[in-house]
């Protein structure tokens, strides 16, 4: 007989999306680790249910810097992390070439550096060592630059430098990475339930795991799903999640998944101001970067201990100011650029005492909670996006050992959906009469599936029209995503095809996308409007911390005009450092 957290709250088979009654493994969390694990296990023939309480990639994965790099700074005291990340980056690039893009970095060495005149030489030697791992991630060896070469390479850069070094890194579209892992897992039999929260874990009286209770958005009650194994991939939420199994009074208490969550903020500017990403220091000496991303520039990132609500993340004025000051000091071109948003996430860093946040190890750990009296319960904590695949592989190996499954990992050699035989930009331009930028973005998002998306465009009225002036998102791409890419809410399109991510915050594209969404889902006008409001609210949440003065007033006016009577009172709520409408107009 299983003990349950809230037996009264569980009604088997209550309304909601169909979920299997029993599986081999329940995975908590749809970030890179959870979706990577779901794919790995499904390819080995294991029956999986993944529950994600929001959209895929809504946690740290989707708010990360998106670099599948080696992290040169870990080389000093965490060489295994550098090696793992570089090796896995190479595999990820091979299975998802369409999602990956090169990011050439410059690291200028200021004259005023801690090593004095030897600073440049020491950086050169350091990167000689990093170069040993660079081929693993298909990178080019570093180059040492004189001050003249440095400024010629990046004319917008200011400062007094001994010279600099280059390094070659890779970025990835993380939202789509999580999606493609989930879609491939589904294609191999997994059940992926988004907007579905794991509310409790069920155990036998002897402590053994027998399943979990899940609740879909909008449902009042949870349903039980049986499984002999539950894996906690809940990111920064993992420590709280690992406290869930109550067992008997005697078994309760230990939790070996201990974290030290670290909040990280990025600022997003509307346009690029450099061709290279630039590594520099903030005023407290911490390393940050200014990076071109698509048409934009990102400054990232902060790293501060975080004790607040993981489900209510905002960038503060201090964080915005801290990053702005550091970025503008090296690339003053940023001063004339418009800030259009923030990305805020919380790292699931493994607990450590007595260290500054950014010196904490980025190693990962597979915790077998048998040691806490809960056999069959595991947590995958810590680590990097850059090594998500190998982390998932090791986790899957442990699960398979427990289940007696002998199949081995295939995720390093099987391409993700769309990841082989990519069309060329010219082919798509010729066949569908579309613009080069549209073709390039479609290939980057869909790879070899891009022609199918465009065929849908030819088959539907206005299907090849660009919806969003800030991102060449086509009407057919929205329709494709709504049909095939696990879209529950209109706001999910922000990570599927960058809807509403530009400077107009979704004013132009949002309305038209809402109409397509409503048409596909047969929604009434009120629901369509509510979905549009939700999209704008999500976008506004990212932008509100960086808007000030006339820009904020203009934005509020736009919102009011656009929505008639825009009812997002919770966004106006007074919060520290974030004046509501009344405060501004008062």
Ligand X SMILES: Cc1cc2nc3c(=O)[nH]c(=O)nc-3n(C[C@H](O)[C@H](O)[C@H](O)COP(=O)(O)OP(=O)(O)OC[C@H]3O[C@@H](n4cnc5c(N)ncnc54)[C@H](O)[C@@H]3O)c2cc1C
Under the rule (CB under 6 A), what is the footprint of ligand X? 28-34, 51-54, 58-61, 63-67, 197-198, 233-237, 241, 264, 301, 345-348, 383-386
| Sheet strands (E) in 331-478 | 339-347, 364-368, 377-382, 466-468, 471-474
Q: Give 69 or 479: the residue with its C-beta nearer to ligand X.
A: 69
Shortest approach of ligand X to residue 24 CB, angstroms? 18
By DSSP bridging, strand 191-193 and strand 48-51 are parallel
Print burial letters for 1-27: b (CB count within 10 Å at least 16), e (below 16): eebbbeeeebeeeeebeebeeebbbbb
Q: Give 61 or 274: the residue with its C-beta nearer to ligand X.
A: 61
Structure tokens at 331: 């690339």
Shortest approach of ligand X to residue 168 CB, angstroms? 15
Q: Provide the phi-psi class of 213: left if phi over 0, else alpha when psi is between -120 and 50, else beta.
A: beta
Q: Give 71 or 159: the residue with its C-beta nearer to ligand X.
A: 71
Neighbouring residues of 100: CB distance < 8 A, sequence distance ≥ 6? 68, 92, 93, 170, 171, 172
Q: Report d(CA 120, CA 122) in Å as an integer.
A: 5
Q: Report d(CA 84, CA 82) in Å as an integer.
A: 6
Shortest approach of ligand X to residue 415 CB, angstroms? 21
By DSSP bridging, strand 377-382 and strand 364-368 are antiparallel
Q: Give 62 or 510: the residue with its C-beta nearer to ligand X.
A: 62
**Rounded alpha-carbon distances, angstroms, from residue 337 to 151, 153, 298:** 21, 21, 12
Closest CA to 499 of 534, 519, 470: 470
Shortest approach of ligand X to residue 559 CB, angstroms? 27
Contact 515, 522 (CB under 8 A): no
Q: Give 181 or 473: the residue with its C-beta nearer to ligand X.
A: 181
Contact 257, 239 (CB under 8 A): yes
Q: Give 67 or 396: the residue with its C-beta nearer to ligand X.
A: 67
Shortest approach of ligand X to residue 487 CB, angstroms? 16
Shortest approach of ligand X to residue 232 CB, angstroms? 9
Shortest approach of ligand X to residue 59 CB, angstroms? 2
Shortest approach of ligand X to residue 560 CB, angstroms? 32
Neighbouring residues of 174: CB distance < 8 A, sequence distance ≥ 6? 32, 57, 61, 62, 64, 66, 385
Q: Give 145 or 386: the residue with its C-beta nearer to ligand X.
A: 386
Shortest approach of ligand X to residue 470 CB, angstroms? 23
Q: Give phi and psi for 349, each to the nearest 5.
A: -65, 140
Q: Coil, strand or helix: which one is 51?
A: strand
Q: Report d(CA 256, CA 261) in Å as an integer.
A: 15
Shortest approach of ligand X to residue 243 CB, angstroms? 11
Shortest approach of ligand X to residue 199 CB, angstroms? 7
Contact 97, 422 (CB under 8 A): yes
Q: Give phi and psi for 201, each to the nearest 5.
A: -115, 135
Q: Report d(CA 513, CA 497) in Å as an integer.
A: 11
Q: Report d(CA 208, CA 391) in Å as an integer.
A: 24
């Amino acid at each position: 007989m299983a003990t349950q957290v809230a037996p009264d709250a569980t009604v088997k088979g209550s309304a909601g999306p169909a979920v299997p009654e029993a599986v081999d493994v329940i995975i908590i969390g749809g970030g890179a680790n959870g979706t990577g694990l779901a794919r790995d296990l499904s390819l080995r023939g294991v029956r999986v249910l993944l529950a994600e309480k929001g959209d895929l990639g809504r946690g740290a994965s989707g708010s990360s810097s998106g670099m599948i790099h080696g992290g040169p700074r870990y080389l000093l005291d965490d060489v295994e992390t550098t090696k793992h990340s570089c090796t896995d980056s190479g595999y990820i690039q091979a299975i998802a070439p369409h999602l990956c893009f090169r990011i050439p970095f410059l690291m200028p060495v200021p004259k005023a550096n801690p090593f004095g005149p030897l600073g440049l030489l020491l950086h050169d030697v350091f990167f000689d060592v990093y170069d040993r791992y660079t081929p693993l991630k298909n990178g080019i060896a570093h180059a040492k630059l004189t001050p003249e070469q440095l400024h010629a390479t990046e004319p917008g850069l200011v400062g007094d430098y001994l010279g600099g070094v280059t390094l070659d890194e890779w970025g990835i579209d993380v939202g789509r990475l999580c999606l493609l892992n989930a879609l491939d897992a589904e294609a191999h039999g997994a059940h992926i339930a988004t907007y579905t929260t794991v509310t409790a874990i069920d155990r036998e009286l002897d402590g053994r795991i027998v399943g979990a209770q899940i609740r879909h958005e909008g449902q009042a009650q949870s349903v039980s799903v049986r499984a002999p194994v539950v894996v906690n991939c809940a990111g920064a939420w993992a420590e709280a999640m690992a406290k869930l199994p109550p067992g008997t009074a005697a078994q309760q208490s230990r939790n070996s998944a201990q974290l030290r969550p670290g909040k990280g903020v990025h600022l997003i500017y509307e346009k690029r101001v450099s061709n290279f990403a630039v590594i520099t220091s903030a005023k407290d000496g911490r390393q940050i970067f200014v990076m071109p991303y698509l048409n934009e520039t990102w400054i990232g990132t902060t790293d501060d201990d975080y004790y607040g609500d993981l489900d209510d993340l905002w960038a503060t004025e201090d964080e915005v100011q801290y990053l702005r000051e550091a970025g503008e000091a090296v690339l003053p071109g940023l001063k004339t650029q418009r800030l259009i948003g923030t990305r805020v996430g919380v790292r699931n860093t493994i607990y450590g005492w007595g260290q500054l946040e950014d010196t904490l190890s980025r190693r990962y750990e597979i915790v077998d909670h048998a040691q806490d009296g809960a056999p069959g319960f595991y947590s995958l904590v810590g680590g990097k996006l850059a090594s998500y695949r190998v982390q998932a592989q090791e986790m899957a190996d442990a699960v398979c050992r427990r289940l007696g499954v002998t199949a081995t990992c295939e995720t390093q050699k099987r391409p993700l959906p769309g990841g082989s035989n990519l069309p060329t930009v010219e082919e798509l331009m010729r066949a569908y009469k579309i613009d080069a930028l549209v073709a390039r973005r479609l290939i980057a998002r869909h790879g070899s599936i891009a022609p199918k998306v465009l065929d849908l465009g030819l088959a539907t009225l206005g299907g090849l029209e660009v919806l969003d002036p800030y991102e060449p998102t086509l009407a057919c791409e929205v329709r494709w995503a709504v049909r095939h890419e696990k879209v529950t809410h209109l706001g999910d399109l922000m990570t599927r095809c960058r809807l509403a991510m530009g400077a107009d915050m979704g004013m132009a594209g949002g309305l038209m996308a809402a109409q397509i969404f409503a048409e596909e889902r047969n929604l009434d006008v009120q629901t369509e409007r509510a979905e549009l409001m939700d999209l704008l609210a999500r976008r506004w949440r990212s932008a509100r911390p960086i808007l000030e003065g006339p820009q904020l007033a203009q934005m509020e006016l736009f919102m009011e005009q656009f929505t008639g009577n825009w009812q997002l009172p919770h966004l106006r709520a007074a919060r520290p450092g974030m004046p509501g409408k009344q405060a501004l107009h008062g």
